[in-house]
Copies of this chain bind each other. A is one copy, B any other.
Amino acid sequence: MNYIRALGKVSERFLEELKGSNIAFILVIGTTDTSLIPGITVAGASPELTHYTPPADAEFLKLGKCLVIPVPPVTPDGKPTPALVSRACLLLLNIPSIVVNAGCRVRPLIPHVDLAGEPGRDIRTGNALDENVCRRILENSKMLGRELSDIFDLLIIGESIPAGTTTAMAIMVALGYDAWGKVSSASPNNPIELKVNVVKEGLRRASIDKTDDPIIAVSKVGDPVHLAVAGIAAGALENDSRVLLAGGTQMCACVAILKHLGVNLDPDMIEVGTTRWIVDDKSSDMVGLLSEIWPNYALLVAEYSMSTSKYPGLRAYDEGFVKEGVGMGGLLVTTLVRGFTPDDILRKVEEEYEKMIR
């Protein structure tokens, strides 16, 4: 397959299904107050604005503009949200997209599915979510996954949650995996030490060493989004639909939750799709994480670059900024599998970028 790097046990049948007509993109959004810790995330121009990033990403994805904030989310130094690339892919793919609110401080002002969840608290200072809220998010996301799989044969599931790599690390460590310092960052300077300290503080505060129960792990040191992504995937798989988890190291936490829920992780039914910016990143280790959690893992990597773009904001992606988010990797994989070239995609991304900066 051109422009796709296949790692692990990628299934030919799965790739065929990715070309099928009955596919939808599901964007799961939410927030954790952990994102307010200065320096932990660049998914927003300031810590306070990170609470607006997920709804703004969702609005940009659907409308090409934002409603909750006047301009699309950028990093503090102005690098544009990956929602830009995801939107370009969706325009080429012409498939439905559905926004799912797992727990946001600020709700998007477009139609979206509400899972009756709640935003996550700062994991250093209190439990992320009450256990009954976690149970509700899991129940509701599974119900949604089952219902969507009555309509669609394959769900591409992405996420937007600032500081999500930190809570992902915490969830994986709580479930017994060596995720220390292996998660990626939207910055070329991954603040690994800060993330590790926050996770350690959270685990100490919650008096948790290791648990096999994903509800406990998420409730103590997680967030609403990873649980909801796993729940939607579990519901879809239960109903014989396929799932492409679209994201970077955070998706390893979703896989860990699925595994501890007892879901059968058959690469013929579920795979992960991400960018080369993640897999080639020296400051994180997605393949290491994935293979520890899921020895039979299947990972599709989009061989897509923007280094030839005329816009510095887009070339920045090849300099280590952004890397993943809003389902970018999985959508790039799907777009490439369906026969579009990297050039087709870059042209569309630049077109949307021009509208955005106008």
Which residues of chain A have a CB within 8 Å of any CB of chain B?
96, 101, 107-116, 136, 140-141, 143-144, 147, 150-151
Contact = CB atoms under 8 A, between A and B. Distances in A.
Contacts of A110: 116, 140, 143
Contact of A114 (B96, B112, B140, B144): B112
Given A147-B96, A150-B96, A151-B151, A107 B114 contact: yes
Please name the 4 residue pairs, one residue from A and one from B, whose CB atoms are nearest each other, closest first: A114-B114, A111-B144, A109-B116, A111-B140
Interface centre among A112, A113, A116, A141 (most CB of B within 10 A): A116
Copies of this chain in the oligomer: 2
Contacts of A140: 109-111
A110 B141 CA distance: 9
22 contacts: A96-B147, A96-B150, A96-B151, A101-B114, A107-B116, A108-B116, A109-B116, A110-B116, A110-B143, A111-B113, A111-B114, A111-B115, A111-B116, A111-B140, A111-B141, A111-B143, A111-B144, A112-B113, A112-B114, A113-B113, A114-B114, A151-B151
A136 B113 CA distance: 16
Interface centre among A112, A114, A144 (most CB of B within 10 A): A114
Contacts of A112: 113-114, 116
Contacts of A113: 111-114
Given A109-B136, A109-B140, A113-B113, 6 more contacts: A96-B150, A107-B114, A109-B116, A111-B113, A112-B114, A114-B114
